[in-house]
Amino acid sequence: MKHYKSLLLKKLVDSGWELKTQDSDTEWWLEELWEVESIKQQYGYRVYVSFLVDLQYEGTRKSQAVWAIGAATEIPESYSSEEQNICTMDLQKGKFDEKLSSFVDKINHHRNNIGL
């Protein structure tokens, strides 16, 4: 998972985002939560990136069970928080690179079209 997180963070940084906080002391369904802030368009705008754990996972190492990454305008309160959802990317093997580009493009599109 560390490798995927590195790729995601690099893509976000290259698109004008900065990682502000990184929290792994989270609910059982959330492996980690990032707060990222725009340092380009809509300077200061924040988005929350969540690493979602498979609901059926019963182990103790949540990083082994991340099945999707979500982006939202607010900290998700539950596994099914959809109200402020910007986009979600599942982690299907072999398609990460193309899905990553699309995921970050959707986040950027959201940021760039606030207030339009």
Q: For 11-64, what is each residue's pLDDT tens digit? A: 999 999 999 999 998 888 899 999 999 998 899 999 999 999 988 888 888 888
Residues 6+ apart with CB under 8 A from 96: 4, 7
Number of domains in the chain: 1
Domain that holds residue 41: 2-112
Closest CA to 80 of 23, 37, 27: 27
Distance CA 4, CA 27 (A): 21
Interval 60-115: pLDDT, tens = 888 888 999 999 999 888 777 665 789 999 987 778 888 999 999 999 999 999 87
Q: How confident is the model at residue 1 (pLDDT cuts 50, 70, 90)?
A: low
Token code pair at residue 3: 């490798």
